[in-house]
Amino acid sequence: MEEQLPVVDTHMVTTAFTLDGYKIDRNLGLVRGIIVRSRSIFGTVGASLQTLVGGDITLFTKLCEETRGHAYQRMSEHAAQMGANAIIGVRYDATEIMQGVTEVLCYGTAVVARKE
């Protein structure tokens, strides 16, 4: 069984640069979560078949959502390890490293915030 690392509570993570009702006491710096994923041959074939009928390509949607979730989790763990209780300015980025292999990065600024 995999050990669960501490994370920042989701209600303390935002794309904004402020947290309503909180004052930022300390900026701890950049935090990030990186994951590199490749598509399986089965997923690629299944998704290719889905493109024939049009609409949501659910196999890719699920893969993208899971990958972003893992990158977010890693960023949140990184912030907690630094002593942060909040993350502001959160963003995602993705880069294709080679055909079928993509890096997904979730990043933000780890801060210590207190209730006003």
The answer to the question of residue 52 being in a domain is yes
**pLDDT of 58 over the 90 cut:** no
Helix, strand, coil percentages for the chain (3-state, nearest 5): 35, 40, 25
Q: CATH number for the domain including 17?
A: 3.30.110.70
How much is the pLDDT for 2? 59
C-alpha 73/C-alpha 61 separation (Å) is 18
Nearest to 67 by CA among 46, 88, 96, 41: 96
pLDDT at 55 over 80: no
Answer whether residue 2 is part of any domain: no
- Count of domains observed in the chain: 1
Q: Which domain holds residue 17?
A: 10-115
Query: Quick check: is 3 in a domain?
Result: no
Quick check: 47 pLDDT over 70? no
Confidence bin at 42 (pLDDT 50/70/90): very low
* Cβ-proximal residues to 83 (8 Å cutoff; 6+ apart), any chain: 28, 112
Q: Say if 5 falls within a structural domain.
A: no
